[in-house]
Copies of this chain bind each other. A is one copy, B any other.
Amino acid sequence: MTNHHTPKPLRPSTLSRKVGQRPGTLSLPETALPPRLFLMSYSQESFLEQECASYTALQEALAANPNLNHWIDLRGYSDLGLLEKLRDDFQIHPLQMEDVLNDYQRPKVEEDSGRLFIVSRMITFNDKHRLEDRQLSMFTGPNYVLTLQSDYVDCLEALRERLRIGKGSIRKRPISYLMYAVQDTITDYYFPAMARIGEYAEELEDCLFDNPSRSLLSQILDLKREVVKVRRIVWPERDKINELMRMEDDLVPDELEIYFKDVYDHTIQLMDLVDNYKEMTSSLSDLYLSNVSHRMNEVMKVLTIISTIFIPLSFIVGLYGMNFSRENPRGGINPLNMPELYHPYGYLTLLVVMALVVTGMVYYFYRKGWLRSN
């Protein structure tokens, strides 16, 4: 029987490089998708969006608009040559490129000669009640932001729409504001996932009261572990935002500080939510165990009451099933051997006695409160 729902722990297979291999070696998971290259180029006045058919097309587009800000967005990692070209042209350290390909990295920010390398995680809580989290890697440069992700779908579409329609100040701001906007959008994206976790927790709670099945505890403990995983992602996310907030003016302009402070507050709210859910799952598992033992007690009580009522009755009827003989084998009678059996009203009297016994016991149990279902 393996159809239980225990989540797989983070598997160490997340380290893409083999033991002893040269650091910085790029190796691809077999499931890597073919790359798609998107480019958005913008300034306050102009906006260009295209999907580049090849890396050469990207290079040409960048060269054609040296005064615009560029958001280069690579999705899908199956082309190792493309990744190596990116690495070389955008002066990315081989170890950082390795981090991009590894599918598990904690949120972090690294600074390297005026450029930032930022790892973020986009989480969703899927229909199987498992946490999915995918990595978004970002490199910043003087007039570009380069994002890389392994999948085609992400949570940044609303942000792209803001760029397209040019609403608000986003196109007027320097490129570092785009970097902030990506961080902000990703952080906001945690909240719907948290809402789904909360709904699922309430669903489990309803099950707990309605129909506590055997697998429920397993589900509760699974949810607890998912919640702990979120915590382990939000914690370094918070540290990352804090680090960005405190960076020097040339890396993150001072005017962005208050914006990052806002994101930082959101991550703290996330921590509060996570802690709330953690306690909620803890009290759910306590309640489950208490409920199970309560049901067991109900069953025991029924047994006790029925047994305790019938056992004395069974004794009484057994008593008058004895064969003590009125007739003495040596002749004559034994008048003291069960004379009740020969009394005209013996049977009726006994029935009344048994009814009284039952009544007395039921009254006793009622007084003890055992007949009330609590």
State the A residues within 8 Å of B (CB).
1-2, 4, 6, 8-15, 17-23, 93, 95, 98-99, 104-106, 108, 110, 112, 155-159, 161-162, 167-170, 184-185, 188-192, 194-195, 198, 201-202, 205-206, 209-214, 217-218, 221-222, 224-225, 228-229, 232, 258-259, 261-262, 265-266, 268-269, 272-273, 275-277, 279-280, 283, 285-290, 292-297, 299-304, 306-308, 310-315, 317-329, 333-334, 336-338, 340-348, 350, 370, 374
Pairwise interchain contact B292-A258, C-beta atoms closer than 8 A = no
Chain B residues within 8 Å of A348, by CB: 336
CA distance A222 to B284 in the complex (A): 10
23 A-B pairs with CB atoms under 8 Å apart are A8-B202, A15-B269, A20-B188, A104-B269, A217-B286, A222-B283, A225-B280, A292-B293, A300-B300, A310-B311, A310-B312, A318-B321, A320-B323, A321-B321, A322-B323, A322-B347, A323-B338, A325-B342, A328-B344, A334-B342, A334-B343, A337-B341, A337-B347
Contact of A302 among B184, B269, B308, B326 (CB under 8 A): B308
Pairwise interchain contact A329-B323, C-beta atoms closer than 8 A = no
Contact of A272 among B198, B232, B323 (CB under 8 A): B232
Pairwise interchain contact B342-A188, C-beta atoms closer than 8 A = no
Chain B residues within 8 Å of A303, by CB: 303-304, 307-308
Known: A106-B265, A106-B272, A325-B341. A346 touches B334 (CB 8 A): yes
Q: Which residue of B lies closest to A344 (CB)?
A: B334
Q: Which residue of B lies closest to A95 (CB)?
A: B262
Pairwise interchain contact B20-A156, C-beta atoms closer than 8 A = yes
Nearest CB of B to A361, in Å? 9
**Number of this chain's copies in the complex:** 5
Chain B residues within 8 Å of A217, by CB: 286-287, 290
Residue of A157, A202, A302 most packed against chain B (CB within 10 A): A302
Pairwise interchain contact A232-B314, C-beta atoms closer than 8 A = no
Known: A188-B20, A342-B329. A198 touches B11 (CB 8 A): yes
Contact of A304 among B279, B300, B322 (CB under 8 A): B300
Pairwise interchain contact B312-A162, C-beta atoms closer than 8 A = no
CA distance A334 to B329 in the complex (A): 11
Chain B residues within 8 Å of A17, by CB: 188
